[in-house]
Structure formats: C-alpha cells, structure tokens
C-alpha cells in the first residue's frame, strides 16, 4: 500500500498542541507518512521544535526563543492552554533530539524540518545548520531541510547531502531563479495563492500545498498535479483520500 499523500502539519495540530510529541505521535498513529515541524534555535545553539519566535502563544510564558537557553526552554510546557485548557498542561516543548528519538520508532516516516527565518536572521545559516545537521543527517533522505530562507538552503546545499525544500507563499514563485539555484527536491506553497485553473505540478520537484482540510479540495489538487497535501487535520484527510482511491 502506497503512503498517504498527506503531510501532518505540526503533527495532528487540530486535536493536539502543535509541534509537540503528543501531536506527532497522534499523527503517526492515524497513518501519517509525512510530518512537517518547525525549528527555532535557543541562544546557546540547541534546535527546538517551535513555530513562533515568542513562546507566549504555545507555552503561556512570554519570551523570545532565541534569547532563552536550552535549559530554560526544556523546562517549558507547550500545552497551548488557551485552546486545550489543562488537558496537555505537562506536555513539554520538544527539542529536535526528542523528535529524532520518536522517529526511531517510525522508520518509514519522512520529516520536513522547516527552519524558521527568525533563527537564520539572528544566528546566521551556519550556526543553524550546526544545530540541525548532526540530528537530521542520521535520518538520511527521510529528513528534508525546508525553509522560506533561501540563505540557509543555499548553505545547506554546500554542506549536506540531505534533500532540500523551498517554501513560497505563491505558486508563481516556485520556479524563480533564487529557487532554481537551490535545486530543491521539494517545493511548498499556500493553497490560497494557486492558479485557479490548469496543471500545478512542477517537473522534477515534489509539490506540497498547505493548508487543506476539505477532502474534495485535496482530491482536486492531487488531480491537478499536486503531490502532497499539508493539513492540521491529517486524521480527516488520510482516510477520506484512501476511500476515494478504492
């Protein structure tokens, strides 16, 4: 059976606190073969799984990730109490090390490691790669270095054999000279900035579109040449798309 074309966006983030081990494990247990996670760096150069530059929304404590030590961040919980109350109040803010340990239990899963531009701007591309590559490279080709930052991806092309992925808001930008220079295997764009008609596939690249919940829309995009569908609701899309194939 072929893997589902659904990428679990920050894990099963519709039902669990995003970018937590609980969200990742839930996504894997419903059959996700692809995860997308976000990477930010602590001030002492440790990679954490976190989307925002500030921890207030997810952890309930204001503070810039890149201004906090790894020891401080490791003591935070990321239970997103504004959405979930106390249900996940002990859920830790995970490091990239924690994620890689989880992935040893799921050897066929591909993970898109989205390096956030704030960390690249604060620490520079080489410092970010110093923090990420020792953990990502042992995963081999199932770890994809993804970013909106062409700067860090250009540096990654010189330093690592890992596949690269470029994220752009607009489909029209996915074949720009700056993207072509990175030679990405994967390209990502926003579903809200797609051409309304015509084929969407890009020769030689795997195209992923975010953020989709509706199964009919997902099926229509796949028919137009999209390869993967990114969603916070992988538990809805995975079985729905599987049933459409039967």
The CA radius of gyration of the chain, in Å to the nearest whole number, is: 17
pLDDT, one tens digit per residue, over 178-235 is 999 999 999 999 999 999 999 999 999 999 999 999 999 999 999 999 999 999 999 9
- Looking at residue 1, its pLDDT comes to 64
In the predicted structure, residue 245 carries a pLDDT above the cut 90: no
Residue 63 near residue 40, CB atoms below 8 Å: no
Which residues, at least 6 apart from 52, have a Cβ–Cβ distance to it below 8 Å? 40, 58, 65
Instruction: Return d(Cα 101, Cα 201) in angstroms, integer.
Output: 34
Under DSSP, the state recorded for 172 is: G
Q: Which residue has the tokens 């072929």?
A: 2
Q: How confident is the model at residue 2 (pLDDT cuts 50, 70, 90)?
A: confident
> Does residue 160 lie in a domain region?
yes
Instruction: Return d(Cα 91, Cα 164) in angstroms, integer.
Output: 30
Count of domains observed in the chain: 1
CB atoms < 10 A from the CB of 169, how many?
A: 12
- Looking at residue 246, its pLDDT comes to 65
| Domain encompassing residue 141 | 6-245
Instruction: Return d(Cα 239, Cα 115) in angstroms, integer.
Output: 30
> Does residue 235 lie in a domain region?
yes
> Does residue 1 lie in a domain region?
no
> Does residue 164 lie in a domain region?
yes
Evaluate if pTM is beyond 0.85: yes
* Mean of pLDDT over the chain: 97
Q: Coil, strand or helix: which one is 164?
A: strand
> Does residue 99 lie in a domain region?
yes
Instruction: Return d(Cα 46, Cα 235) in angstroms, integer.
Output: 31
Specify the CATH number for the domain of residue 215.
3.20.20.190
> Does residue 225 lie in a domain region?
yes
Instruction: Return d(Cα 62, Cα 55) in angstroms, integer.
Output: 5
pLDDT, one tens digit per residue, over 52-79 is 999 999 999 999 999 999 999 999 999 9
DSSP-derived secondary structure for 73-133: HHT-B---HHHHTTTTTT-B--BHHHHHHHHTT-TT-EEEEEE-HHHHHHH-HHHHHHHHH
- Looking at residue 64, its pLDDT comes to 98
In the predicted structure, residue 171 carries a pLDDT above the cut 80: yes
Instruction: Return d(Cα 205, Cα 208) in angstroms, integer.
Output: 10
> Does residue 180 lie in a domain region?
yes
Q: Which two tokens stand for residue 62?
A: 């204001």
pLDDT, one tens digit per residue, over 125-167 is 999 999 999 999 999 999 999 999 999 999 999 999 999 999 9
């Amino acid at each position: 059976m072929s893997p589902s074309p659904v990428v679990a966006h920050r894990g099963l983030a519709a039902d669990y606190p995003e970018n937590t081990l609980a969200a990742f494990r839930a996504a894997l247990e419903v059959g996700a073969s692809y995860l997308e996670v976000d990477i930010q760096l602590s001030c002492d150069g440790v990679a954490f799984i976190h989307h925002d530059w500030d921890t207030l929304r997810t952890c309930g404590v204001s503070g810039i990730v890149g201004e906090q030590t790894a020891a401080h961040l490791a003591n935070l919980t990321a239970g997103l109490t504004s959405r979930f109350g106390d249900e996940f109040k002990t859920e830790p803010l995970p490091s990239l090390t924690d994620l890689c340990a989880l992935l040893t239990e799921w050897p066929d899963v591909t993970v898109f490691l989205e390096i956030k531009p704030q960390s690249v701007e604060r620490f520079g591309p080489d410092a970010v790669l110093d923090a990420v590559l020792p953990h990502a490279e042992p995963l081999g080709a199932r770890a994809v270095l993804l970013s909106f930052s062409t700067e860090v991806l250009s540096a990654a092309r010189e330093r690592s054999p890992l596949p690269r992925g470029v994220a752009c808001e607009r489909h029209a930008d996915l074949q720009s000279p700056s993207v072509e220079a990175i030679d990405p295997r994967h390209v990502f764009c926003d579903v809200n900035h797609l051409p309304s008609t015509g084929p969407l596939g890009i020769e030689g690249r795997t195209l992923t579109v975010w953020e989709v919940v509706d199964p009919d829309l997902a099926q229509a995009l796949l028919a137009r040449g999209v390869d993967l569908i990114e969603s916070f609701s992988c538990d809805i899309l995975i079985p729905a798309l599987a049933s459409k194939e039967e």
